[in-house]
Chains A and B, each alone.
Chain A
Amino acid sequence: MSDVTRREMLKGAAALGAAATVPHGLAAPAAAQTTRKRELVVAQGGDISKFDPHFSTSSNDIRVSFNLFDNLVARHPDGKLHPALATEWKLQGPTTWVFKIRQGVRWHNGDPFSSADAAFSLSRTWDPAVRTRVNTVFTTIDRIEAPDAATLVIHTKKPDPLLPARLAFYGGQIVPKKYLEAAGGDAFNAKPVGTGPVRFVSWTKDDKIVLEANGDYWGGKPDFDRMIVRAIPELAPRIAALLKGEVDIITQLPPDHGDRVNANPSTRVVGALYAGLYVLAVNSKVPPLDNPLVKQALSLAVDRELIVKELWRGRGIVPSGPVARGDNHFDTALPALAYNPRAARERLKKAGYRGEEIVIETTSGYTANDKPMSEAIQGMWRDVGVNARVEVLEYSVRAQKNRDRTFKGLWWSDPTSTLSDPDGMFWRLLSPGGPQDYWRHPRFDELGEAARFSVDEKFRGEAYREMTKIFLEHLPWIPVIQPYEDYGLQKHVEWTANPNQQFEIRRFNFRFRRA
């Protein structure tokens, strides 16, 4: 990994699939590794909590549910939207979307799939009687019609340019109307039925989930007979299981363990540039963080290049603003956030900063490197004369503070770009009433609202450019890094990771290397 240069990193997420992460010396023997395995074993850092895709948004759960179920629209590792249960879609008038539904698809229990299932699924997400956990995903939808089995018409309340993108992420998984209505929610959760490439067989909690390949899958049967998802919470045993060959893929591989995986003759690291950012979110209501000059100084004092190099072993890039690389309207002309301790000192002086304490509330291990980065940044801030302190929080305390909006100063946030667009990223979190509503700016709010409901991409692009300018002056977040999400793989596995943590095992992105 160490011989991957920053220039190579910057070529973009799509180009940087498997190949670039393999040291050159290992690329050749990799070709020789083949297998006869008919069983794919995946180990992740925790078990799932439920199968019903409308009742969870946790990453452990969706790694499984995105394979049991399909969405109408799929976002592939290339970052683009592709047909899934809908074969095509188009906008008819500003608020009417027409989706052509794939024909001949069957549920895992043999029932035929139709537009009625799709209409039922989407309506189920906000049905007050069902009480799902994804009832805020489709708030832009006004009503849904299924005029025939092959057509779905969605009317939105206002123009919604991102409806297809919303359908591609959580909340958008399509569930079976007939089975669910007959069996009830609990039975469905215990024995899920989807249309996806794998079928449910069994689940032993905190041990393993057994799935079998769906031979009738519309996207082609995946290249295995069985798929097993194991939960191995501790990192060391998870890596040991990979190195010993007990598992084929491990998730959540921290950057400082990549060398070990690459050095092992039969394994390698594969990653994707995370569709999102790691930022220090700021409570801009408490002094001295209510002063933009102080926040600018804090940002200027962070040596992000050093953090990427030392703490991330080069597995990340320095952000340029609130829009993640790979998203719509990412401005390639914008320079990476600067490191300038002298300018930082000057701004602190200009702001009249008098040594007030600034607290970073960090979790330890919730996101990769959260605590080490906090400590490094604390040191960098102290170097320019900021009285910085780090406090460690347990994750559930953080969740509570997030809800109550009671953070003392700065805290780590890892906003995922759920729609590959600024709207599903910084505007989702920083908009009025959003979970990180600690700062308001009339022009910023006006533009965010207008861009959300405009189908004019040129206008949207301009709006986000102006919002970025306002953002960089006021810094409601201090973006720190856009990291890679790394996985450990056996060399006999060929698989492309998805940047948005969606863990998809389908024919188009997975195969075993056969002799």
Chain B
Amino acid sequence: MRALFVFVGRRLARALVTVWLVSTVVFVVMRLSGDPVPLLLPPDAPRSEIFRVRAELGLDRPLPVQYGVFLANVARGDFGRSIHFREPAMRVVWGYLPATLELGLTAFGLAVLVAVPVGLLSAVRRNSLVDHATMGLALVGQSAPTFFLGILFILLFSLKAGLLPTSGRGGAAHLVLPALTLGAFAMASVARLTRSAVLEVLGADFVRTARAKGLAERVVVVKHTLKNAALPIVTITGLQLGTLLGGAVVTETVFAWPGIGRLAIQSIYNRDYPIVQCVVFLSALVFIVVNFCLDLVYGLVDPRARPR
């Protein structure tokens, strides 16, 4: 039990350092990228007006002072007021989270529920038609750019077939195309990795032993193979979850999906420092939490990975 506390404590300390580093890098990079004020004012605004707004936003203070204020506020969970929306940044980002979670989790669900069985199947039926077809499809899913897939799906399923809405957020029908588009890459990589991991284990001695014992093939695959192949599969799905929840800029833009990826990219263009800092901070946090959970899952799946 003590080992677990030490393990968790160490992870937490490391997580804090990571979050601090990420926040600092974003702070510096955003300030280097330019001034938000010209974007806020009409093009014929006089210079005096620009200086006034800079002062109003606290951008005229020395950078170390701005940084100190930023850190102190973040420690209290305050990311400042959005320059673009004139609202607290956290409240703005919070409003975008449900859409991102809905899309990210659906895409992730697809990746796990579809890709793992598919990968398993093509490994078991190696070199069969099923294997070639699914792996061919996976190759396309992994290599086709998201914007291309998204627009292709809109053309085929919305415009030609008239089955699904073209864009926007609404009921379940609105979710299908964006989730497929976003999940394509994750599905493809999980399926391919599952296949190769399972194939590797299928060739192992203990599988041969299991078969020699006369166990049913189903038992061999599910009980002996899948469990041993689980480690890399858990790793890649976990990483995919982090990526999917971090917001999907391209998918969200193509499907006019109101998620934090789109918010982040627009805020970068608008030089809306508080929003960008808040989004990046949360994304980093999601990654850290997911990684932490992964470590715990490792322990469950593989006794050797348990902290001693």
Q: Evaluate contact between B95 and A237: CB separation under 8 angstroms.
A: no
**How many chain A residues touch B (Cβ–Cβ < 8 Å)?**
44
Q: Evaluate contact between B46 and A433: CB separation under 8 angstroms.
A: yes
Question: Which stretch (B19-27, B35-43, B116-124, B127-135) binds chain A?
Answer: B35-43
Q: A residues near B, CB below 8 A? A: 46, 49-50, 52, 55, 57, 131, 133-136, 186, 189-190, 204-208, 230-234, 236-237, 240-241, 243-244, 246, 394-397, 399-400, 402-403, 428-429, 433-435
Q: Evaluate contact between B162 and A186: CB separation under 8 angstroms.
A: no
Closest to A233 in B: B253
Residues of B within 8 A of A186 (CB): 86-87
Q: Evaluate contact between A403 and B168: CB separation under 8 angstroms.
A: no
Q: Evaluate contact between A136 and B42: CB separation under 8 angstroms.
A: yes
Least Cβ–Cβ distance between A311 and chain B, in angstroms: 23
- Give me 17 other A-B pairs in contact (C-beta within 8 A), A136-B49, A234-B253, A397-B34 excluded: A49-B84, A50-B86, A55-B86, A133-B42, A205-B92, A205-B96, A207-B169, A233-B262, A234-B151, A234-B254, A237-B151, A237-B154, A240-B158, A240-B166, A241-B167, A396-B270, A399-B43
Residues of A within 8 A of B147 (CB): 234
Partner of B162, one of A207, A237, A244: A244
Closest to A394 in B: B269
Partner of A233, one of B53, B151, B256: B256
Least Cβ–Cβ distance between B223 and chain A, in angstroms: 46
B190 at the interface (CB under 8 A from A): no
Residues of A within 8 A of B41 (CB): 133
Q: Which of B66-112 contact A (CB under 8 A)?
A: 84-87, 92, 95-96, 99
Can you list 23 pairs linking A and B with CB atoms under 8 Å apart?
A133-B40, A134-B42, A135-B49, A136-B46, A186-B87, A189-B86, A204-B258, A205-B92, A206-B262, A207-B99, A230-B256, A234-B151, A234-B256, A236-B151, A237-B254, A240-B154, A240-B158, A244-B158, A394-B269, A399-B38, A400-B34, A402-B43, A403-B37
Q: Evaluate contact between B258 and A207: CB separation under 8 angstroms.
A: yes
Categorize the interface residue count of chain B. 35 or more
Q: Evaluate contact between B256 and A231: CB separation under 8 angstroms.
A: yes
Q: Evaluate contact between B44 and A428: CB separation under 8 angstroms.
A: yes
Q: Within the assembled complex, what's the spacing in Å between the Cα atoms of A189 and B81?
A: 14
Q: B residues near A, CB below 8 A? A: 33-35, 37-47, 49-50, 52-53, 56, 84-87, 92, 95-96, 99, 147, 150-151, 154-155, 158-159, 162, 165-169, 253-256, 258-259, 262-263, 266, 269-271
Residues of A within 8 A of B53 (CB): 131
Q: Within the assembled complex, what's the spacing in Å between the Cα atoms of A52 and B85?
A: 11
Residues of B within 8 A of A52 (CB): 86
Least Cβ–Cβ distance between A244 and chain B, in angstroms: 6
Least Cβ–Cβ distance between B12 and chain A, in angstroms: 33
Residues of B within 8 A of A134 (CB): 42
Residues of A within 8 A of B47 (CB): 403
Residues of A within 8 A of B254 (CB): 234, 236-237
Among A52, A131, A233, find the residue whose CB has the most chain B CB atoms closer than 10 A: A233
Indicate whether A403 sits within 8 Å of B42 (C-beta atoms), given known contacts A246-B165, A396-B271: no
Among A136, A206, A244, A395, find the residue whose CB has the most chain B CB atoms closer than 10 A: A206
Q: Evaluate contact between B46 and A403: CB separation under 8 angstroms.
A: no
Q: Within the assembled complex, what's the spacing in Å between the Cα atoms of A237 and B147?
A: 11
Among B33, B41, B165, find the residue whose CB has the most chain A CB atoms closer than 10 A: B41
Q: Evaluate contact between B167 and A399: CB separation under 8 angstroms.
A: no
